[in-house]
Structure 1
Amino acid sequence: MNEPELSDLGAFVAVTRARSFRGAAALRGVSPSSLSEAMRRLEAQLGVRLLNRTTRSVTPTEAGQRLLDRISPALDDIAGALDTLNSFRDSPTGTLRLNVPTIVAQRVLPPLASRFLRTHPGITLEITTNDTFIDVLAAGFDAGIRYDESIARDMIAVPLGPRTQRFVAAASPGYLAEHGVPRHPTDLLRHACIGHRFPSGVLAAWGFVRKGKTVKITPSGPLIASALDLELHAAESGLGVIYTFDEYLRPSIDRGTLAPVLEDWWQSFSGPFLYYPSRTHMPAPLRAFVDFLKAEGQSG
């Protein structure tokens, strides 16, 4: 039996971790067909099926899982050994793959990413947006960005961006003139509310806090969406009250296309964190980004 190519073994690990040929291909910058061919070649050489393939998912067989468990550490060690060469360069090179929430990608990360990439021209920053918590390492990412309540305790977390954020409520001046201004969160039960549904299918509840008292509202109204741009346009068009991140609504409030409501009840929360699993070797691009964030925090 011919020895399998190292590249085919790497393709197997990538597909198994991503649970998808398409997802693994996107992370590796190759075509799904090339990964599929690599898997056919590897399975033929080894004489065993390594993956169970369906139209919806790719999962390892028992043999595939055993192979994955044995070769993953070795391939990670090889990647780490090659990455140590970065220490001999003036600036690290390579790709840093991050999985981040939509709001962070749109309103928090852009200025940080620009400053980081100007400082490290040899690094490529690859951003994927996802509003659910995932196992970043298994999905092929170097790190993720999430809020504190969704970060597992065994992860290393580094502050990123504003340390305090808040949810705010607002509506167009025309809507408020026609329907009145809510004075208490329970008044929203009589108003048209623009709801947001998470990718998990859960409808986001609206939380308000004042003097230690918390009130939660389930929004009801003419629109429920999972796209903030659509929700914002609906609110500015006078369809109802919107509730989301301050950073997202602030430009509209400053322009006067939206007016804030229930300001005494706005809820504050901790800002986002970069998180990644603890491991002996940290890829040079990730180390550079962590050092950059820590320096930004000290200078801020």
Structure 2
Amino acid sequence: MKNNISADDLAVLLAVIREGGFRAASQRLGIAASKVSTTVSRIETQLGTPVLRRTTRSQHLTEAGQLLVDRVGPLLSAVDAACHDVATLGGQIQGRLSLNVPGAVMPDILPPLLAAYRTQHPDVEVEITVESDLVDIVAAGCDAGIRYGSVLEQDMISIPVGPRRQQMAMAASPAYLDAYGVPQVPKDLTAHLAIRYRLDAGPLLPWTLQCEGQSVKVEPQNALILSVGALNTGFRYAQAGMGIIYTFRNWLEDEFESGKLVPVLPGWWSDVEGPYLYYPSRFAPKPLRAFIEICQATPADA
């Protein structure tokens, strides 16, 4: 069967998926929402099969639509990047950098990197999507992602970004410890209230403690469970005396200095591997290559 689906029409379909709807896609593309809807309908007519399931609130790819996006998305991204590379040859880097990152890098790791990037490449528009689960960045229409090393896809190139190691610490408010006592050994934590985080996929982040080569997992009593997307807000609840929190030590330094929180079992704080930037090995457009250079030039302890 022969069809005459244009690259422009396919780009509209991809915009609908990436932006999460017809109206958002129309705003991104600068065209009427009715034209976006007509374009998708034209693609379905030419293919002879639906590519989107539409409801009043959302749109979801059909199996055929997913196959089309998986095959066409990387090709159109390559065409866009090639055009940008030619247009900016010998001049300022322009275009768009789309990153998919976990909330854990948003407060302190990513801001200085993007500030440096913005200074060097002011003509690049940067868009960040915050998610915690591992994402197929190609299918999601992102240039690169940031994740912690244990969940990286094997077919991706990855480079360290930010600190190479991060320390996990426990803390509580003075009022909480006055009321419930100060834990002396890891086993004591099982009788204490805790502020925990749940991953998007369902499981709670484990409390893994380490001391002189010994590793212990503990299960405290859950007083408050937060989505991992709220990772950098949990210490506010710890300040209010709701329980002991287990989070990145560098996020707690100001609280320790002010006395709003105090360290708990500091001899058992564990180290974890820092985050990585990951991206497809087959393709890196200029805006992404420039960001990679920023990451590689940043000191490991920054």
Aligned residues: 296
2:180 match: 179
Which one-letter code corresponds to 1:132 in the other structure? Answer: D
In the aligned structure 2, how far is the partner of 1:74 from the partner of 1:137? 10
Q: Percent identity?
A: 38
Any conservation in 2 of the 1:207–1:217 contact (CA below 8 Å)? yes
How much has 1:61 moved relative to structure 2? Answer: 4.2
- Corresponding residue of 2:60: 58
Unaligned runs of 5+ in 2: none
Maintained 8 Å contact 1:19/1:57: no
- Aligned pairs for 1:1-300 within 5 A: 3-15=4-16, 18=18, 20-21=20-21, 25=25, 28=28, 35-44=36-45, 46=46, 48-53=48-53, 55=55, 58-62=60-64, 64=65, 67-68=68-69, 71-72=72-73, 74-226=75-227, 227-228=230-231, 230-279=233-282, 281-297=283-299
Rounded to whole Å, the distance in 2 between the matches of 1:202 and 1:96 is 31
Per-residue deviation at 1:52? 4.3
**Distance of 1:136 and 1:26 partners within structure 2:** 22
Alpha-carbon shift at residue 87 of structure 1 (Å): 4.6
CA distance in structure 1 between the aligned counterparts of 2:26 and 2:169, rounded to whole angstroms: 36
Letter of the 2:166 partner, please give it. Q
TM-score, structure 2 as length reference: 0.87
* Counterpart Cα distance in 2 of 1:27 and 1:186: 55
SS in 1 for 2:169: strand
Answer whether contact 1:169 1:262 (CA < 8 A) is retained.
yes
**CA positional deviation for 1:89:** 3.9
CA 61–176 in structure 1, closer or farther in 2 if over 3 Å, else same: closer
Deviations 1:68-97 (A, max 9, x none): 566446434422330222552422111100
Distance 2:16 2:138 in 1: 13
Distance 1:220 1:22 in 2: 45
Native 8 Å contact 1:195 1:220 kept in 2 = no
Contact 1:93–1:123, Cα closer than 8 Å, also in 2: yes
